[in-house]
């Protein structure tokens, strides 16, 4: 007899899909049937344990026999669609995938959501240059902060200065399901009152994404890169979209996605530019990310030993080994993303051994210099004080980073909880009748600890929505005031706010992101781990340990001040 606990665990790790076949475009023809047939067939190849197809009442739906169909449900309109999704969310023990029935996408694109080891909340997004297509009802606008969606819009809601589009597939992780169901039901109530105007069922995925973001839920931005995912508006477009899928090698696209975006300058150009070619061979040989982490630690230990020799040859050998250790440090993450084998243990090992390796290298450098070998220009005078100071500085920097990240996470949880608590107090329809100026003020600011209407941004600036974007005029969802539909600010909304909000530090930071040169300057000045490893290797190989530690303390001190003032400025802007 099968173990019931094992069955429950398996179910909890697999998603339930809700396919919205509520538009005529779901029935467009493609090889093998309709777009809906194609989509449900793709879901049958993924870890999806069941599929709900929501169609308009009276529609006849056919699906491939391999798909585990839970049922086809007749729906009467937008509000009914949302309530049916809420019902699925409340009953599911695993993640819920909501996908438009007229979506033409690579299977690998859908796998970015349902096969992600975290089984978290995420949305398929395309950003500038990734795919053709301007924002519209089938491509709602979104803005990301690098990792998360911080603003999303619909034909009714403004996403502010959006830099990308949502591509019709959204997964909600188990921890967010209850709030997601509440959001869907609230949106259904507003839809019934006509708040959203002539919005139809085709906009349900985008409307749900907007609701999640404005409720304070962290939505991972699953970027398409070279992959395609687009909703269809006509037969000719569908024919072209299906044929375009063959133009992309899904394996290569998966490898591209394994290389971390937003890395430092050194990691991007001196490591990831070639290390990606080692990922697939490592996967074929069965190497695990944790094994690669262990090999990286071994190379760092050898580097420390060679540094401790104190000779010029030893310093050069140590520098080369340190570089290779860092390459492997990047590769373990790339391999984890490629094989989708993330784990809390792996993340902990990676973060812990990064510190261990760095401090071991400091120890080796100090030992070699203290030996006083003439060839390295060494001697014991003050080298240990420099080494300890460099260690303490790095500890302080990490303390600033981790404490700030923890504070942001706490603020996000508090903001989302407050949004749910505030949600039971007011009538959304009544709030929607307030004057436009009051409705804007009701949702001003990106401060998660500030009640809607508590404060404005800078004078004359538009009020910020929960995702940081300005509130759309006439917005019912945004105009629900202190009612249950009121979108609360995300804890990180200040980072993604529109260009007219935030203090001088936040506005300067946002301006610097727009130009490549200043964007790289921002990444380099904080002395990320890649730049630190490069600085250690170069100064040790060409000079000696004293120069290395002085360089680390100088650059590291500037970086610490930059980070401290930047964090303080962003915190004050919330």
Q: Quick one: DSSP state of residue 379? A: -
The C-alpha atoms of residue 392 and residue 459 are separated, in whole angstroms, by 42
Cβ proximity of 455 and 445 under 8 Å? yes
Of 158, 76, 175, 164, the closest CA to residue 123 belongs to 164
72: pLDDT strictly greater than 90: no
Cβ proximity of 15 and 95 under 8 Å? yes
Q: pLDDT tens digits for 477-529?
A: 333 333 334 442 232 333 344 444 556 777 777 788 778 888 899 999 999 99
**CA distances for 54 relative to 20, 84, 96, angstroms:** 5, 8, 14
Q: pLDDT tens digits for 452-477?
A: 333 333 333 333 333 333 333 333 33
Cβ proximity of 25 and 234 under 8 Å? yes
Q: pLDDT tens digits for 73-111?
A: 556 789 999 999 999 999 999 999 999 999 999 999 999
pLDDT of res. 57: 59
The C-alpha atoms of residue 199 and residue 204 are separated, in whole angstroms, by 9
168: pLDDT strictly greater than 50: yes
- The helix (H) or strand (E) run that includes residue 350 is helix 344-370
pLDDT of res. 232: 95
Cα atoms found within 13 Å of the Cα of residue 399, Cβ hemisphere only: 6
Highest mean pLDDT among 431-440, 464-473, 550-559: 550-559
pLDDT of res. 499: 42
34: pLDDT strictly greater than 80: yes
Cβ proximity of 535 and 525 under 8 Å? no
- The helix (H) or strand (E) run that includes residue 223 is strand 220-223
Q: Quick one: DSSP state of residue 488? A: P
pLDDT of res. 458: 32
**CA distances for 515 relative to 58, 151, 289, 496, angstroms:** 53, 21, 35, 17
- The helix (H) or strand (E) run that includes residue 428 is helix 428-431
Q: pLDDT tens digits for 524-545?
A: 999 999 999 999 999 999 999 9
- Average pLDDT of the residues in 157-181: 93
165: pLDDT strictly greater than 70: yes
- Average pLDDT of the residues in 198-224: 93
Cβ proximity of 455 and 444 under 8 Å? yes
pLDDT of res. 378: 59
Q: pLDDT tens digits for 316-359?
A: 999 999 999 999 999 999 999 999 887 778 888 888 899 999 99
The C-alpha atoms of residue 331 and residue 384 are separated, in whole angstroms, by 32
**In a 3-state reduction of DSSP, which class is residue 360?**
helix
The C-alpha atoms of residue 50 and residue 123 are separated, in whole angstroms, by 19
Query: Where residue 25 falls among pLDDT bands split at 50, 70, 90?
Result: very high
The C-alpha atoms of residue 30 and residue 336 are separated, in whole angstroms, by 35
Residues 6+ apart with CB under 8 A from 450: 489
253: pLDDT strictly greater than 50: yes
Q: How many other β-carbons are positioned within 10 Å of the β-carbon of residue 364?
A: 28
552: pLDDT strictly greater than 90: yes
For residue 189 the two structure tokens come to 């109530």
Residues 6+ apart with CB under 8 A from 67: 40, 41, 43, 44, 51
Any bridge partners for residue 152, and if so which? Answer: 142
Round the average pLDDT of the chain to a whole number and report it. Answer: 79
Q: Quick one: how far is CA 126 from the chain centroid?
A: 13
For residue 20 the two structure tokens come to 């919205």
Query: Where residue 8 falls among pLDDT bands split at 50, 70, 90?
Result: very low
Q: pLDDT tens digits for 14-23?
A: 899 999 999 9
Angle at 356 between CA 353 and CA 357, to 5 degrees: 85
Cβ proximity of 19 and 96 under 8 Å? no
245: pLDDT strictly greater than 50: yes
pLDDT of res. 448: 31
What is the 3-class SS of 229-290, one letter each residue?
EEECCCHHHHHHHHHHHHHCCHHHHHHHHHCCCCCCHHHHHHHHHHHHHHHHHHHHCCCCHH
The C-alpha atoms of residue 147 and residue 490 are separated, in whole angstroms, by 14
Of the candidate ranges 119-133, 140-154, 187-201, 424-438, the one whose mean pLDDT is the lowest:
424-438
400: pLDDT strictly greater than 90: no
- Average pLDDT of the residues in 262-287: 94
- The helix (H) or strand (E) run that includes residue 574 is none
pLDDT above 90: percentage of residues in the chain = 57
4: pLDDT strictly greater than 50: no
Name the region of 268 (left: φ>0; alpha: ψ -120 to 50; beta: rest): alpha
70: pLDDT strictly greater than 90: no
- Average pLDDT of the residues in 534-559: 96
Query: Where residue 436 falls among pLDDT bands split at 50, 70, 90?
Result: very low
254: pLDDT strictly greater than 50: yes
pLDDT of res. 135: 60
211: pLDDT strictly greater than 60: yes
When comparing pLDDT for 182 and 462, which is higher? 182
pLDDT of res. 441: 30
219: pLDDT strictly greater than 80: yes
The C-alpha atoms of residue 505 and residue 399 are separated, in whole angstroms, by 22
Q: How many other β-carbons are positioned within 10 Å of the β-carbon of residue 45?
A: 12
Q: Quick one: DSSP state of residue 197? A: -
Cβ proximity of 461 and 497 under 8 Å? no
pLDDT above 70: percentage of residues in the chain = 74
303: pLDDT strictly greater than 50: yes
Q: pLDDT tens digits for 367-384?
A: 999 887 655 555 677 899
């Amino acid at each position: 007899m099968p173990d019931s606990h094992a069955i429950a665990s398996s179910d909890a790790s697999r998603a339930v899909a809700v396919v919205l076949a509520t538009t005529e475009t779901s029935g467009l023809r493609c090889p093998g049937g309709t777009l809906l047939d194609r989509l449900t067939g793709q879901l049958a190849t993924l870890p999806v344990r069941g599929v709900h197809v929501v169609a308009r009442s009276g529609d006849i739906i056919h699906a491939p026999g391999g798909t585990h169909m839970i049922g086809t449900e007749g729906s009467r309109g937008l509000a009914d669609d949302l309530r049916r999704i809420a019902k699925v969310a409340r009953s599911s023990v695993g993640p819920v995938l909501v996908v438009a029935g007229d979506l033409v996408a690579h299977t690998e694109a859908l796998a970015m959501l349902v096969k992600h080891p975290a089984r978290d909340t995420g949305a398929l997004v395309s950003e500038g240059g990734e795919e053709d297509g301007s924002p519209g009802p089938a491509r709602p606008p979104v803005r990301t902060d690098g990792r998360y969606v911080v603003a999303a819009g619909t034909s009714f809601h403004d996403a502010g200065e959006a830099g990308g589009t949502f591509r019709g597939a959204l997964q909600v992780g188990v921890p967010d399901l209850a709030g997601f169901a509440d959001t869907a039901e609230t949106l259904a109530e507003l839809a019934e009152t006509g708040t959203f105007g002539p919005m139809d069922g085709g906009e349900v995925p985008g409307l749900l994404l907007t609701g999640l973001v404005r409720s304070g839920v962290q939505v991972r931005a699953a970027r398409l890169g070279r992959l395609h995912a687009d909703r269809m508006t006509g037969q000719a477009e569908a024919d072209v979209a299906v044929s375009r899928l063959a133009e992309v090698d899904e394996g290569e696209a998966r490898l591209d996605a394994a290389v971390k975006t937003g890395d430092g300058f050194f990691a991007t150009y001196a490591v990831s530019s070639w290390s990606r070619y080692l990922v697939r061979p490592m996967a074929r040989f069965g190497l695990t990310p944790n094994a690669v982490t262990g090999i990286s630690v071994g190379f760092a230990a050898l580097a420390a030993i060679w540094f401790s020799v104190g000779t010029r040859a030893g310093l050069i050998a140590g520098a080369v080994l340190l570089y290779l250790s860092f390459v492997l440090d990047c590769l373990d993450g790339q391999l984890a993303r490629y094989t989708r084998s993330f784990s809390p243990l792996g993340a902990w090992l990676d973060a812990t051994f990064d510190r261990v390796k760095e401090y071991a290298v400091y120890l080796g450098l100090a030992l070699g210099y203290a030996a006083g070998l003439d060839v390295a220009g060494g001697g014991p005078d003050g080298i240990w004080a420099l080494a300890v100071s460099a260690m303490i500085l790095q500890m302080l920097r990490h303390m600033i980073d981790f404490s700030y990240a923890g504070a942001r996470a706490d603020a996000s949880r508090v903001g989302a909880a407050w949004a749910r608590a505030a949600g039971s107090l007011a009538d959304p329809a009544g709030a929607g009748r307030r004057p436009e100026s009051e409705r804007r003020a009701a949702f001003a600011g990106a401060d998660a600890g500030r009640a809607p209407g508590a404060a404005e941004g800078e004078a004359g600036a538009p009020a910020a929505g929960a995702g940081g974007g300005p509130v759309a005029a006439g917005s019912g969802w945004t105009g629900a005031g202190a009612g249950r539909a009121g979108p609360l600010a995300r804890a990180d909304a200040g980072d993604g706010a529109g260009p007219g909000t935030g203090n001088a530090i936040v506005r300067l930071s946002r301006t610097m992101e727009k130009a490549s040169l200043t964007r790289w300057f921002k990444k380099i000045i904080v002395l990320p781990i890649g730049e630190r490893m490069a600085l250690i290797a170069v100064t040790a190989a060409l000079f000696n340990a004293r120069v290395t530690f002085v360089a680390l303390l100088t650059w590291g001190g500037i970086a610490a001040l930059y980070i401290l003032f930047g964090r303080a400025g962003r915190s004050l802007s919330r």
